[in-house]
Structure 1
Amino acid sequence: MSILNGKKIVLGVTAGIAAYKAAFLVRLLVKEGAEVKVVMTPKAKEFVTPLTLSTLSKNEVLSSFTNEDDDTAQWNNHVALGLWADLIVVAPATANTLSKMAHGTSDNLLLAVYLSAKCPVYYAPAMDLDMYKHPSTKATFNTLESFGNIKIEAEHGELASGLIGEGRMAEPENIIQKIKDHMLLGLPLKDKKLLITAGPTYEAIDPVRFIGNHSSGKMGIAIAQHAVSLGAKVTLVLGPSSVVFDRKSMKVVDVVSAEQMYEAVHKEFNSSNIAILSAAVADYRPTKVSAEKIKKTERTLTIQLEKTQDILASIGKIKEHQFLVGFALETQNEIENAKKKLEKKNLDLIILNSLRDKGAGFKGDTNKITIIEKDNKTTPFEVKSKDDVAKDILNHIITRIHA
């Protein structure tokens, strides 16, 4: 999942020849999962049409304090829009608009939104070489920097005047990468390598039948996605699952059996900083797997089972610097059994689920957990969506590793 996924972004478009690139920028931001609202300066409409940007953003494009073509003259609330935004991106940012931003001028809707905003503001200058190098423009950059605004450096290339040099607006993909890089700087899991397991394992009986369980993988996938949004480099070892998610944002290792998951986890564990094993791994597997489909000939069928390798216990024995988190799904003596598992498997935390709790367990979109630590500190949580449970788990881990 991209760090921009779900972010509310106001894209300010000003009157420069580079305004045509705003269409590409909107498309890429939407592709990253962001919700984009475009605010144009009145003159910017001479360079790119509001219809184009509205179609790409799937939101109305605003350029004045009232809707010009609306008989009701509805007011576009710049304060509400400024507070709505998680970040503002001004691209292209002309010398004229940047100067007004630096000096608090508010003669159009975009500038009023900028002055009302409480969120980070990024700007991508676009102007001719001499304008970009002029002392007044440099002073503008310095003033905006003192406000905490983030400059996305102009690139070197051919300019509208025919000159070649600095002043060309950064390409849309470079703008997005700079924003993502900057957002990652303050994230609590930046550069941390997380190993997460999710889903069930299937243990073959014959080519068409298996022993499995009802795990969907939703909980582990939610943890992996939120970890990515916090800056982590995630490896997700995933058993059979039909959950659709953004695989490109992390390394996904697909497995089927407990043995395959064991091998994948051991391959990745040494290079990990944090390991969260939420997969529902089968405890037993058939001792023999039939090469052909077993025919229904007898009234009863006996299948001999053997224990699978205990993945969590095996890495608990070899862990060095890693912070190790396990899950316990219990139906009786829940707290007592979870604490035994925590100690026996050398864990730092264990996440307890009880099938007796309404809203917890497999398949559903909610979960109810209790976090138990090495010192027996127990922290219960209410029923929440699995996305919110993922946030609670990672926030707890972050607090522990930074304590």
Structure 2
Amino acid sequence: MTKFAIQTLNAISPVGLQRLDRDVFDVGTDIRRPRAILLRSADLHSVEVPSSLYAVARAGAGTNNIPVDRLAALGVPVFNTPGANANAVKELVIAGMLLAARNLYHAADYTRDLVADKHLSGADLDKQVEAGKKQFAGFELPGKTLGVIGLGAIGVLVANAAQSLGLKVLGYDPAVTVKSAWQLSPQVEQVASVEELLSRSDMITLHVPLVEGTRGLINAQRVALMPEGSVVLNFARGGVVDEAAVLEALDSGHLHAYVNDFPSEAGAIHPKVIALPHLGASTGEAEDNCAVMAVDQLSDYLLHGNIRNAVNFPEVVMARTPGTTRLGIFNENKPNMIGQITAALAEAGLNVAEFTNKSKGEYAYTLVDVEGEVKDALKERILAIDGVIRARKIEG
């Protein structure tokens, strides 16, 4: 059996890498013609895609560093790991809420400066601590309202945790999945619009991807809807918040604080901003979970053609039929593709044992198990069909 070469472009948790059987997979950083790329934050936008490439897997949720559309057009699925780092991000959001509510970040800076800059100690330090603490008086969370925008894996965990801390929780997600809906606490009230959520929330937290429809989701007009003294938390992506509008609202006193995981030059030094160095998934547990999930999805695709959690192709999973040969076929989502593919199989004298086809947006993916040998001539015949992007015979 020919080995699959997997190129790693970032340090990937060994807990994940050890799941790759080295009799089946070659793994390294210097592989020239990889069948797959495994990465975290490495930027692929300016990288030439090798013709050998079958798949890309990111050990994380966001795929802004990957040319997803360009790879889709080549029949290369891009896998991510939604939910694998959800607990780590949830804990950071809760920490951010407490930091903002009790002004802990700036209060700690104040006491540090008393010693480091003003060189106070003993009774002088105690006196200044007591004199200065009033400026950091905050508020408690129970009875406040948290608005959660985006009810995916992370948003649901945040909503449930906040509700258990005594907050009233509002949620907004027009595309909430059945799975997320089942996991969401029944005490969380789902609202009909972002505007309603903002107008009723003392704190808001964002858990949406950065796409064209979410860029600048929190802008000046929407910030104006929020009650005076509100807090914005952003552990999603920097671009979903118009930071200039938020900083202006902080300066005017309309907002109390902005807590985010995406420092900017202006935000990092603002007295009402808590800017963290992109710590969302920075726990050992999250890195392990993401690596395991990415590796498992990648190996399942390379070995069996199954697609789970690809951002540019539909989920297609089919059990192997004993004694058959499997084909994986990527094509444009247009009429009569299935008919033409099955006709090509019939012309080759191959009986179809199992067949599944699903589409997502502009593209579709087919898995088919056939009884008999798949020769190169059949692959060429399928590739000649107008709209077929790629066809792969999957050994095993």
TM over 0.5: no
**Greater relative contact order (Cα < 8 A, sep 6+):** 2
User: TM-score if structure 2 supplies the norm length?
Assistant: 0.27
The structure whose Rg is larger is 1
User: TM-score if structure 1 supplies the norm length?
Assistant: 0.27
